[in-house]
Structure 1
Amino acid sequence: MSTVLYEVRGRVAVITLNRPDKLNALSKELGAELAEAWTRFQAGPERAAVLTAAGDRAFSVGADLRDPPEIWPFAPSVGVHVDKPVVAAVNGICVGGAFILVQFCDLCVMAEDATFVYPEAKVGLSGGLIASVAARVPHKIAMEFMMLGEPMTAARAYETGMVNRVVPQAEVMDAAMDYAEKLAGLAPMVLSTLKRHVAEMLPKGPSERAGLARRDLEAIRSSSDFAEGAAAFREKRAPDFTGR
């Protein structure tokens, strides 16, 4: 992979958005590689992950408008099932779809000079995944953030509960790794159960529910069972399904 890097540090996976020359804009290629990274993390031995980005200027400026992807396929726990803890490490500006990625992480460390921006109302386009932020922070704060599209400082994000810690830029990865390493040392079954129960408790917006449904249906469409069923139909025999 080139636009997303995957590094293993002990029991922690460090997943890095890697388009610093484009301020880590979310392209279709990056989205596909990030989905692969989440799949690798979920299937692998790593017990926690840190989602970060190359460079100090931007975590990501959001969707690459020259090659805009759908966000849901590579949002953790939406497009790819992830029941292990994920910590976001945010440097610089974090815009639009990139904020969605942070929203679906479990914890977040943010640089004190970083900002969140959600400018969909100014661009005239919406994917709708942002709606569930209203289940994660107070309603009026969520509406202000979504509808006005004005930058939110790290200090304000901390005050409203969007992030767990705000630290100097040089300390963001250390703080995120501190969280991740502590999580990696805890009981995996307990953490995954808590994460699942919380996900069941949180209200989901229409776009999130649609993404979850599409994930399940596309998994069936690309399964060995579907290929076997189609082959059995053509060959006029009973299918031998394996559940994969």
Structure 2
Amino acid sequence: MSTVRYTSNKGVAEILIDRADKYNVITHDVVRELNAAWRRFDASDDRVAILAAAGDRAFTAGADLRDIPHDLWKAIPGVGVQVEKPIIAVTAGLVVGGGLVLVQFADLAVAADNTVFSYPEAKVGFSGGLISSLAARIPHKLAMELLLLGGSIDARRAYEAGLVNRVVPVGQQLEVARELAAQIAANAPLVTTLLKRFVGQVLPKGPTELAAHARAGIEEINASEDFREGIAAFAEKRTPRFAGR
């Protein structure tokens, strides 16, 4: 069954992690389907995307610790998939680990007032490292408090730190995000794309993020038609016919 749903309406894509009964925990399937959703969004006529999750208990409780998806980077827009169109994250309840990474790489965020952000990897004993660029998006000391203590901050403190744009009563977060998305969708798409691209060049990138960019590029080559053609031509002892895709 699908763990991520994609809908589109009037230039706005809504991407929903749909595992409310499991606190929207990030599994291998979620990673794979988020990657596909970002690719679909990037190739579509939609101008802005809303990333949300089912229910109000958790945006996500983080990675499935029984089978950790160490390839989380593939699910992150701007890391596993280059997405130059705006993205709005919508949160409620728990936002743990990889969920915080998803929010940090979104362009805007709307948080229900019951949202709690945390990053407990130091307590668990593993890390993917993508969280490091959080320090480029919120004050350094607050980022280090989250990373080194494995503590948490509520929606109000996240708003004060600039991690989220709006804090609203539970149940109103998606409605507010849709209002913001409609405003963005009505703007000039060439301009919004340009500005997002330029801002991406201004923001510092952590070592895991840079490594993920390189790995994503290599995997694109290894999954290409030209790769298959080249291997087939070698095996058949003929000149390859590359198509550039």
TM-score (norm 1): 0.97
Alignment of 1:106-185 (within 5 A): 106-185=107-186
Aligned to 2:229: 228
Q: Which runs of 5+ in 2 are unaligned?
A: none
Q: What runs of 5+ residues in structure 1 fail to find an aligned partner?
A: none
TM alignment of 1:60-71, pairs within 5 A: 60-69=60-69, 70-71=71-72
Q: For residues 137-181 of structure 1, give each alpha carbon's deviation from its aligned partner in whole angstroms, at most 9, with x where no partner exists.
A: 121121112111111010000001111111111210011111111
- Tell me which residue corresponds to 1:14: 14
**Residue equivalent to 2:32:** 32
1:110 Cα deviation (Å)? Answer: 0.3
Structure 2 Cα separation of the partners of residues 243 and 156 of structure 1: 49
Contact 2:59–2:92 under 8 Å retained in 1: yes
Q: Aligned-residue CA RMSD in angstroms?
A: 1.0
Q: Report the CA distance between 1:186 and its aligned residue.
A: 1.1
Q: Secondary structure at the match of 2:7?
A: strand
- State the alpha-carbon separation in 1 of the partners of residues 191 and 243 from structure 2: 30
Instruction: Quote the Cα distance in structure 2 between the aligned partners of 1:151 and 1:77.
Output: 25
Is it true that 1:191 corresponds to 2:229 in the alignment?
no
Contact 2:114–2:155 (Cα < 8 Å) also in 1: yes
Question: How many aligned positions are there?
Answer: 244
Return the letter of the residue paired with 2:159: Y
Q: Are 2:84 and 1:83 aligned?
A: yes
Which AA in structure 2 matches 1:216? G
Does the residue aligned with 2:15 lie in a helix, a strand or coil?
A: strand
- 1: CA distance, partners of 2:52 / 2:81: 18
* Residues in 2 aligned to 1:113 and 1:101: alpha-carbon distance in whole angstroms: 18
Tell me what 1:46 maps to.
Answer: 46
CA positional deviation for 1:237: 2.2
Q: C-alpha displacement at 1:236, in angstroms? A: 2.2
Q: What SS class does the counterpart of residue 79 from structure 2 fall into? A: coil
* Percent sequence identity over aligned pairs: 53
Task: Note if contact 2:56-2:171 (Cα within 8 Å) is conserved in structure 1.
Answer: no
Give the deviation of 1:235 after TM superposition: 2.2
Query: How far off is 1:238 after superposition?
Result: 2.0
- Cα deviations by residue, 1:86-143 (Å, 9 ceiling, x for unpaired): 0001011100011111111100000112110101111111110000001111211211
Q: For residues 10-46 of structure 1, what are the alpha-carbon distances to aligned partners after superposition, in whole Å with 9 as ceiling and x for unaligned?
A: 2111100011111000000111111111111111111
Does residue 4 (structure 1) correspond to residue 13 (structure 2)? The answer is no
Secondary structure of 1:170's aligned partner: coil
2:228 counterpart of 1:237: no
Residue 97 of structure 2: aligned partner:
96
Letter in 2 for 1:48: V
Q: Partners in 2 of 1:183 and 1:240 — Cα distance?
A: 43
